[in-house]
């Protein structure tokens, strides 16, 4: 029997064109033995959810610098739930003020990582919390 690998969709919603952070995370997760599906820049919540469903991922990790996280992150969580994929672990990262974090957590985002979080912490969080 081959082992089940953790599959993660690393997605960039919103309009900002920087994917350096997303790529750093993608590499860290790969180096931790995960399968990372990277879907590119400027994805709408609908596109992210369609990719997450088709790829049967365990985790959706989004990164966003543009400040629209209060709208985009919960939208992804909501659409996933509508697809019956509410067992997917949804995480957010990027420039997110501490004051927004409780709102995000109430709206389906399991954890929020702000810039400077060591990648090892993200890896451990996923390993400990994946369904």
Q: State how far the Cα of 56 lies from the Cα of 24, in Å rounded to an integer.
A: 22
- From the list 15, 27, 105, 121, which residue makes contact with other proteins (rule: CB under 8 A)? 27
Is 43 an interacting residue with respect to other proteins (CB under 8 A)?
Answer: yes
Site string for other proteins, 81-120 (x = CB under 8 A): --xxx-----------------------------------
How far, in whole angstroms, is CA 16 from its chain's centroid? 16
Terminal Cα-to-Cα distance of the chain (whole angstroms): 20
Smallest CA-to-CA distance from 15 within 39, 38, 40, 42 is with 42
Nearer to other proteins, 65 or 126 (CB): 126
Q: Rule CB under 8 A: say whether 122 interacts with other proteins.
A: no
Query: Total residues at the site for other proteins (CB under 8 A)?
Result: 32
Task: Please tell me whether residue 22 binds other proteins under the rule CB under 8 A.
Answer: no
Please give the backbone phi and psi of residue 120, each rounded to the nearest 5 degrees, phi first. -60, -30
Give the CA distances from residue 110 to residues 2, 15, 31, 86, 125, in Å, rounded to whole numbers and listed in that order: 28, 23, 23, 11, 10
Q: Which of 15, 17, 24, 46 binds other proteins (CB under 8 A)?
A: 46
Q: Which residues bind other proteins (CB under 8 A)?
A: 1-5, 7, 26-27, 29-40, 43, 46-47, 50-51, 53-56, 83-85
């Amino acid at each position: 029997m081959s082992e089940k690998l953790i599959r993660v969709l690393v997605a960039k919603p919103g309009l900002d064109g920087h994917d350096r952070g997303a790529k750093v995370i993608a590499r860290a997760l790969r180096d931790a033995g995960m399968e990372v599906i990277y879907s590119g820049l400027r994805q709408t919540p609908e596109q992210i959810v369609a990719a997450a469903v088709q790829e049967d991922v365990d985790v959706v990790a989004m990164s966003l610098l543009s400040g629209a996280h209060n709208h985009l992150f919960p939208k992804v969580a909501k659409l996933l739930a509508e697809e019956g994929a509410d067992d997917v672990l949804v995480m957010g990262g990027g420039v997110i003020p501490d004051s927004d974090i409780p709102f995000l957590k109430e709206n389906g985002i399991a954890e929020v990582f702000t810039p400077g979080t060591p990648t090892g912490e993200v890896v451990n969080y996923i390993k400990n919390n994946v369904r």
